[in-house]
Amino acid sequence: MKMVTMSEAAAKTEAAKPILSVNNIEVIYDHVILVLKGVSLSVPAGGITALLGANGAGKTTTLKAISNLLHAERGEVTKGTIVFEGDQVQALSPNELVRRGCIQVMEGRHCFGHLSVEDNLMTGAFTRRDGKAEINRDLEMVYEYFPRLRVRRASQAGYTSGGEQQMTAIGRALMSRPKMILLDEPSMGLAPQLVEEIFEIVKKLNEEQDVSFLLAEQNTNVALRYAKYGYILESGRVVLDGAAEALRTNEDVKEFYLGVGGEGRKSFRDVKHYKRRKRWLA
Amino acid sequence: MELLNSIFIKPFQDMVAAPDFLLQVLWEGLVAGVLYALIALGFVLIYKSSRIFNFAQGIMVVFAALTLVGLHEKGIPALLAVPLTLVVMLILAIAIERVVLRPLVNQPDIILFMATIGITLFLVGFGELIFGGENKVMITEQLGIPTGSFTFEPFGGFVSIEQKDLTAVIGAVVLVAALLVFLNKSKMGRAIRALGDDHQAALSVGISLSTIWILVWFIAGIIALATGIVWGARAGVSFALEVIAYKALPVLMLGGLESVLGAIIGGLAIGILEKLFEIYWGQPLMGGNTETWFAFVFALIVLLFRPQGLFGEKIIERV
Ligand SMILES: Nc1ncnc2c1ncn2[C@@H]1O[C@H](COP(=O)(O)OP(=O)(O)O)[C@@H](O)[C@H]1O
Ligand SMILES: [Mg+2]
């Protein structure tokens, strides 16, 4: 079989300057639970990058490390660095990060249930200082991308459907004028055609609004169709990365993540010929 | 038989027989209720945005009133002393955020509750140190609050309304209305409500906890000053004023810790009911002084039937 080699991976990423780079980070919860054991990845400016892996692999933890939301869960980055647009993320508060253009859409949507859809969207503009007119223009833009939200603008978000909540959560992030959105499992619990709809919008936002995406997904199939590059995470380590196209045709990925051939899902660790690369380890 | 009559029939006969007196009682109850509602609102805002049950709310009332009267004693004109007191309350809010809340964020709720007990003790000591421990008189007249009274003669009877009570009610209504508009229409108000709904999500969209916390503690400070002026005008300014905050507890039990509307309606209901009970049942049947306990018993009984309180926010569950 053909491995995705390091040089190939590097060649694909170096085309664009990274907007985000995560360098060999370790994350520990509650001072003792080591969850990320040296994760490195980079997201090119203007790209859609997928972070794939089974439940519990550490995708959410990685995203929260980047958006600096770990503290609230008693998690801590104990090693490594995260650099967003040249600045160390660890030195910035979540508020400051959002202001600089890096925002997370959390797993499970997390809309403000008692607020109307429109109020939800408006909370996304908290960090902005460019005035009402600009903010209202962006609200209009969000409604253009998500016409369904315009219809539901006055409804309490808690009473809208899962798809509408996902749209609200993405729209809310858009209101902050992000350069980069960390999108955690947007497909979770949604019907296939809705998943497709959401990903189409992600693609449009990426192309038209120049928003870079780091996309955590268990739905490998969909994610690799929309992403340009992918990382596969297992038990807190990146076990494979490469261009989306290469990953999709990779035999191991096909077998373990795309459900093509093979008998049931195994782990990369069980595959003898697979050697974990240590290229990021200093 | 006699007893049943005096519980279930006579009080209502009395109400109908002297409707003017009933109106008077209702008015007195309303005035107290407005204050309870205000104080409960202070609790609710802080609880919603930080999950802290603020034990210090009562002492903040005393501290605000003491500061106002103290500043005036030091020669500052009353109308200047009010904004100055507000500045002091703002500084207090900033200090509490910096020194207490920020270092303790992510600690268990009970630790934060204990921290507010610490704030209480500090304010008692600090207030005494600066303004002395002796009772003071609220500078009602100097603030331009009218002290006379209106009288009406409805139903051929007689109702008297003290102008300072009327001022208090109008002031409280304006304050509550302003607060509601602020919460529902402004960016910061929206952020406070968002934080109450989902802490993590609020952080994720960049809502600044520090800013919101300072804001809600400052609002609690404004409410404390308003209550301090009104209650102080009736009862004098002393550390005993703190008890008014305890009256907020049954209001919160009734209205729910997280409901703004619950605090308002609960406060009014308790103020009015405890007055009615005292006059028509307490005094004739129990020798009076029922106002000290009625609210708690009433709230407990309601909770037996509605554990989420009368207006506990509906928990929206949807997958
Ligand atoms: N707050 C936490 N405290 C302790 N362990 C956690 C916490 N959050 C996640 N974990 C653990 O970290 C691992 C990775 O979780 P997560 O990042 O949520 O994975 P994924 O998003 O890929 O499903 C899991 O084993 C999970 O049990
Ligand atoms: Mg996850």
Query: Longest C-alpha distance within chain A, in Å?
Result: 60
Residue A267: per-residue pLDDT? 57
pLDDT exceeds 60 at position B313: no
Residue B104: per-residue pLDDT? 87
The parent domain of residue B273 ranges over: 2-305
* B159-162 and A237-243 strand pairing: unpaired
* A180-184 and A75-84 strand pairing: unpaired
Among A37, A19, A39, A161, residue whose Cα is nearest residue A103: A19
Residue B316: per-residue pLDDT? 53
Instruction: Report if residue B60 sits inside a domain.
Output: yes
Residue B245: per-residue pLDDT? 77
Instruction: Report if residue B317 sits inside a domain.
Output: no
Three-state secondary structure call for residue A121:
helix
Asked if B200 lies within 8 A of A103 by C-beta distance, the reply is no
pLDDT exceeds 60 at position B132: yes
Taking CB atoms and an 8 Å cutoff, what residues of chain B touch A115? 190, 193-194, 197
Q: What is the pLDDT of residues B94-122, one digit of tens each?
A: 999 999 988 888 788 888 889 999 999 99
Show the tokens assigned to B301.
Answer: 């009984």
Q: With a 6 A CB cut-off, is A104 part of the ligand 1 pocket? A: no
Residue A73: per-residue pLDDT? 86
Interface test with A, best of B50, B195, B203, B204 (most A CBs within 10 A): B204
> Distance (Å, rounded) from C-alpha B196 to C-alpha B194?
5
Residue B193 identity: R
Three-state secondary structure call for residue A275:
coil
Residue A173: per-residue pLDDT? 97
Instruction: Report CA-CA distances (Å) from B192 to A104, A136, B185, B209, B225.
Output: 20, 21, 11, 9, 21
Instruction: Report CA-CA distances (Å) from B33 to B29, B251, B295, B313.
Output: 6, 9, 11, 21
Instruction: State the distance from the centre of ligand 2 to the C-alpha of A259, rounded, in angstroms.
Output: 20
Instruction: Report if residue B315 sits inside a domain.
Output: no
Contact B49, B196 (CB under 8 A): yes
> Distance (Å, rounded) from C-alpha B220 to C-alpha B214?
10
Please give the average per-residue pLDDT across A214-226, as a whole number.
Answer: 94
Ligand closest to the CA atom of residue A188: 2
Instruction: State the distance from the centre of ligand 2 to the C-alpha of A216, rounded, in angstroms.
Output: 7
Mean of the per-residue pLDDT values of chain A: 88
Which residues, at least 6 apart from A193, have a Cβ–Cβ distance to it below 8 Å? none
Reported ipTM: the value is 0.84
Residue B159: per-residue pLDDT? 87
Instruction: State the distance from the centre of ligand 2 to the C-alpha of A158, rounded, in angstroms.
Output: 21
Q: With a 6 A CB cut-off, is A189 part of the ligand 1 pocket? A: no
Q: How confident is the model at residue A281 (pLDDT cuts 50, 70, 90)?
A: very low
pLDDT exceeds 90 at position B231: no
Q: How confident is the model at residue A269 (pLDDT cuts 50, 70, 90)?
A: low
CATH for the stretch A2-101+178-277: 3.40.50.300
Best probe residue, ligand 1, of A61, A64, A105 (max atoms within 8 Å of C-beta): A61
Residues less than 5 Å from ion ligand 2, measured at CB: A 59-60, 107
> Distance (Å, rounded) from C-alpha A240 to C-alpha A6?
10
Instruction: State the distance from the centre of ligand 1 to the C-alpha of A71, rounded, in angstroms.
Output: 14
Please give the average per-residue pLDDT across B260-289, as a whole number.
Answer: 91
Q: What is the pLDDT of residues B253-263, one digit of tens each?
A: 888 888 888 89
Instruction: Report if residue B140 sits inside a domain.
Output: yes
Interface test with B, best of A67, A116, A126 (most B CBs within 10 A): A126
Instruction: Report CA-CA distances (Å) from B258 to A70, B114, B199, B312.
Output: 26, 20, 14, 7
Residue A276: per-residue pLDDT? 43
Residue A16: per-residue pLDDT? 62
pLDDT exceeds 60 at position A222: yes
> Distance (Å, rounded) from C-alpha A248 to C-alpha A263?
18
Instruction: List chain A domain ranges.
Output: 2-101+178-277
Instruction: Report if residue B299 sits inside a domain.
Output: yes
pLDDT exceeds 80 at position B75: yes
Residue B216: per-residue pLDDT? 95
Residue A79: per-residue pLDDT? 95
Instruction: Report if residue B310 sits inside a domain.
Output: no
Please give the average per-residue pLDDT across B300-308, as a whole number.
Answer: 83
Contact A169, A160 (CB under 8 A): no
> Distance (Å, rounded) from C-alpha A181 to C-alpha A67?
10
Q: What whole-number percentage of chain A has pLDDT above 70?
A: 86
Please give the average per-residue pLDDT across A141-167, as a whole number.
Answer: 96
> Distance (Å, rounded) from C-alpha B74 to C-alpha B85?
13
pLDDT exceeds 70 at position A265: no
Nearest to A72 among B190, B196, B203 (CB): B203
Report the C-alpha dihedral over residues A159, A164, A170, A175, rounded to 10 degrees.
-70
Residue B65: per-residue pLDDT? 93
> Distance (Å, rounded) from C-alpha B264 to C-alpha B40?
8
Locate tokens 């508009």: which residue? B181
Q: What is the pLDDT of residues A39-64, one digit of tens each?
A: 999 999 999 999 999 999 999 999 99
> Distance (Å, rounded) from C-alpha A29 to C-alpha A64?
12
Q: What is the pTM for the complete model shown?
A: 0.86
Instruction: Report if residue B6 sits inside a domain.
Output: yes
Taking CB atoms and an 8 Å cutoff, what residues of chain A touch B198? 110-113
Radius of gyration for chain A, computed over Cα atoms and rounded to the nearest angstrom: 19
pLDDT exceeds 60 at position B80: yes
Q: With a 6 A CB cut-off, is A71 part of the ligand 1 pocket? A: no
Structural domain count of chain B: 1
pLDDT exceeds 90 at position B154: no
Nearest chain A alpha carbon to B194: A112
3-state secondary structure string, A235-248? CCEEEEEEEHHHHH
Instruction: Report if residue B10 sits inside a domain.
Output: yes
Residue A178: per-residue pLDDT? 97
Contact B164, B147 (CB under 8 A): yes
Q: At B178, which CATH number?
A: 1.10.3470
For the residues of A142-175, what is the DSSP string, one character each?
HHHH-HHHHHTTTSBGGGS-HHHHHHHHHHHHHT
Show the tokens assigned to A89.
Answer: 């993320």
